[in-house]
Amino acid sequence: MLLSSVLPAAALLVQQAWAQAADPTSSYYATGVPTDTPVPGNYTDYLRPRVHFSPPRYFMNDPNGMHRDPSGTWHIYYQYNPLTPVAGNQHWGHATSKDLYTWENQKIAVWPPNNYTYVFSGSAVIDSNNTSGFFPDQDNGVVAVYTLAEYPGGEAGIQYQAIAYSRDDGYTFEAYDRNPVLNINSTQFRDPYVIWHEPSRHWVMVIAYAAEYVIGVYTSPDLKEWTHASNFTKHGYLGTQYECPNLLQMPMKGGDPVWFLVISLNPGGPRGGSISQYFVGDFNGTHFEPFDDATRFTDFGKDNYAAQFFHNVPANEPQIALGWASNWQYTQLVPTGLLEHGQFRSAMTVPREHYIANVSARGYDLISGIHNVSAIIDEELAFNSSLGNGTILAYFGDVPSGAFYLEANITNLTSTLQGTANFTISSSVSGEYISGGINAAGSPGIWVDRGHIRGFDNPYFTDKFSEEGVLAPNSTTWSLSLLYDNSILEMFLNGAQQAGTVTFFPERRLDTLAIYVGGIPESAGSSVAVWSLKDTWAPQADGNGTVRGNVTDGATGSMKMF
C-alpha cells in the first residue's frame, strides 16, 4: 500500500502512459537494481538499528507477505524502493530469519510487470492442498496476493489485485498468467490480506476500499476466483483513508481464541499521520462482528504502522507481527545516515507477540510484547534487585551494537498505584537526550519525550506521547521495559500491555542511560536490569562492512559449497 498523495512526483520514474497492458507474466527490471542477488547494504551507520530489520539501502515501508515456511524459516517481504530514499518504484524486498532478529537479505522477490506499475502491499499464504493448481507436486507452494497500482503518465491510476506463485519456498515468484484476479476499476482498492478459514474451507481476503472507509471481505476456493462476501464499513477512527487490514484468530487470555481485525489509517490519525486501530470480535467465514465498537489503537507512539501478522502460527499461540516503524508525515524527510547518501530509510519494529486480555477497565487489551528477547541479549550492563527509590547509571558507549534492553519491576506495592520510574538516554558528547517513564501515581500512565534529540526536527515530528488509564486500579505491581536500538525505542508497560514505538535521530550516538525509581513505599521492591544487545548485522558483513545477503545461486537459500 501507499497513497498516491505521499508519492512525491519527483520520485516517480514512471512518466508515460501505455495504452496496452503488458504481458501479465512479464517483469520490469529497472536499471541498477540487481535481479539475481540481494541489494548490498552498509549497516555500520550510527543510526542503523542492529536488532531490527532495515533495508540494505534506500526506502522501505509496509511489511508484506509474512509467513513461516514449513521448514520454520520466517519470511518478510516489504514495500521497497531500491532506487531512491523516498517512496516510489515499489517492489517486494525479501529477507529471511530463523529467530526473527537475524535477517538474511534475499534478492527482490516480486517485480512490477512494467515501468508504469508498482507492486503495492499484500500477503502470502502456503497453499498446502494445491487449491490453486499451481503446485501439482508439492505441499509447500507459496501464493502471494498483492495490489498492482498503475501510474500511467505518472498519475495515480487503478489499483487491482494480482497473484504470483513460488515453488521454491518463497524465494522466487512467477506471476499468474491471468492476472488480475480482482479488479473493480478503482483507484483506491488495495492491500489484500488472505487467510484460510478452516470451518468454511475457503480462502478469505480482507482488503481496503481505502477512500470509502470500507474493509471488504472476499472469499475464494482457489485464490484465483474471488467473490465479495461482506463489508465492514466506517468503524472506529476514520482519518483520511483505511489501509492494510489484517484479519486473524488470536488467543484470548482465559478464553477461546477471538477474531482480530486491525486496520491502519493514514493520514489523519489522532496523533498525526499514520496509526493502526483494532477490533476484537467473531468471524464466521464471511462476516466480522466486533464485540463492541470502541476504537483501540495498537501503539501509543507514532511510529508503528501497517503491522502484518505472520501466517502459519497456530491460533492458540501468541500471534507474531512486525510493524513499519515510521510515519508517512515525515518518513521521507528523516536522516538516512551519517554520510547522507541515502543509506537507508525506515526499520521494522522488533517481532512482537500478541494476544488479547481484559486488563484495563477498557477490556480487550492488545498485549504486544517483545518476542523472545533472550535471543538477542548479549551482556549484563547493570543489575540491582533491591534498588528501592534510587538511580542506576549505565554507560553503553562501548557496546558495539549501541543497543540495550532494560527491565524495571516494581513489586509489593501496598494498595493503590504508587511509584514512578523514569529514564533518560543521552549523549555525553552532544548532550541530546530522549526520556520517558511510567507514572503510576496521580494520573497513571506511560510517557516518552523525544524533543531533546537534535538530528531531525519537523512540525509533524511530534515530541511527546503518553497513554493513561492503562494500569488496573488495584494492581500492586507494574513494570517498564525498553528496547533501545540507536534510532528506535520501543517501550512497554507490564511487559506488553501498552507498547510505544518512537524513532529519533540524534546528531551523535547516545551513550548514557539513567533510570530513576521513586515514590515507592518502604515495603515495596524495585528490581532493575540492563543488558547490551547483539549486533545481528555485523557478523554478516564482509571486510569492507558490506552485507551482501544470500548471494548463493541456489533458490533455497542453502549455503553454496563450492
Ligand X SMILES: *[C@@H]1O[C@H](CO)[C@@H](O)[C@H](O)[C@H]1NC(C)=O
DSSP 284-353: -SS-EEESS---EES-SSS--EEEEEPBSS-TTS-EEEEEE---TTTTTTS---TT-S---B--BPPPEE
Closest CA to 398 of 295, 306, 513: 513
Strand partners, 60: 80
Least separation in angstroms between residue 101's CB and ligand X is 19
| Nearer Cβ to ligand X (154/272) | 154
> How far apart are the C-alpha atoms of 168 and 284, rounded to whole Å?
33
SS3 350: coil
| Nearer Cβ to ligand X (5/412) | 412
> How far apart are the C-alpha atoms of 14 and 188, rounded to whole Å?
19
Q: Tell me the residue number closest to ligand X, measured at CB.
A: 525
Cβ–Cβ < 8 Å for 410, 523: no
Least separation in angstroms between residue 439's CB and ligand X is 5
Task: Measure Cα distances from 509 to 61, 422, 500, 560 in Å.
Answer: 24, 21, 21, 37
> How far apart are the C-alpha atoms of 69 and 57, rounded to whole Å?
26
Least separation in angstroms between residue 303's CB and ligand X is 22
DSSP 377-424: EEEEEEEETT--SEEEEEE-TT-TT-EEEEEEEEE---SS---EEEEE
* Cell (9 digits) for 86: 523516498
CB atoms closer than 10 angstroms to residue 214: 16
Least separation in angstroms between residue 326's CB and ligand X is 20
| Side-chain-side CA neighbours of residue 403 (13 Å) | 26
Least separation in angstroms between residue 102's CB and ligand X is 20
| Nearer Cβ to ligand X (192/437) | 437
Cβ–Cβ < 8 Å for 218, 230: no
Least separation in angstroms between residue 522's CB and ligand X is 5
CB atoms closer than 10 angstroms to residue 237: 17
| Nearer Cβ to ligand X (282/457) | 282
Least separation in angstroms between residue 334's CB and ligand X is 16
| Nearer Cβ to ligand X (42/536) | 42
Q: Calculate ∠ Cα 267-190-36, nearest 5°.
A: 105
Least separation in angstroms between residue 419's CB and ligand X is 8
Dihedral in degrees, nearest 10, Cα atoms 375, 380, 381, 385: 120
Least separation in angstroms between residue 299's CB and ligand X is 21
| Nearer Cβ to ligand X (203/324) | 203
Q: For the chain, what is the radius of gyration of the CA atoms?
A: 23
State the DSSP H helix or E strand holding residue 58, giving kind and residue range, or none if neither. none
* Cell (9 digits) for 139: 505441499
- Residue of 45, 62, 127, 191 marked active site: 62
Least separation in angstroms between residue 327's CB and ligand X is 25
- Phi-psi region at 298: left, alpha or beta (left = phi > 0; alpha = psi -120 to 50): alpha
| Nearer Cβ to ligand X (398/542) | 542
User: Would you call 303 a catalytic residue per the annotation?
Assistant: no
Q: Which residue has the cell 516480486?
A: 110
| Nearer Cβ to ligand X (204/307) | 204
| Nearer Cβ to ligand X (43/324) | 43
> How far apart are the C-alpha atoms of 500 and 484, rounded to whole Å?
12
| Side-chain-side CA neighbours of residue 287 (13 Å) | 3
Q: Which residues of this chain interact with ligand X, rule CB under 6 A?
A: 13-16, 42, 44-45, 115, 128-129, 131, 185, 196, 198, 209, 212, 214, 216, 231, 284-287, 338-339, 388-389, 407, 409, 411-412, 420, 422, 437, 439, 472, 474, 479, 516, 518-522, 525, 527-529, 542-546
Task: Measure Cα distances from 471 to 68, 109, 445, 477 in Å.
Answer: 34, 43, 7, 10
b/e burial code for range 272-297 (CB count within 10 A of at least 16 → b): bbbbbbbbbbebeebebebeeeeebb
Cβ–Cβ < 8 Å for 149, 159: yes
Q: Which residue has the cell 516494581?
A: 410
Chain centre distance of CA 419: 32
| Nearer Cβ to ligand X (333/338) | 338
Active site residues: 62
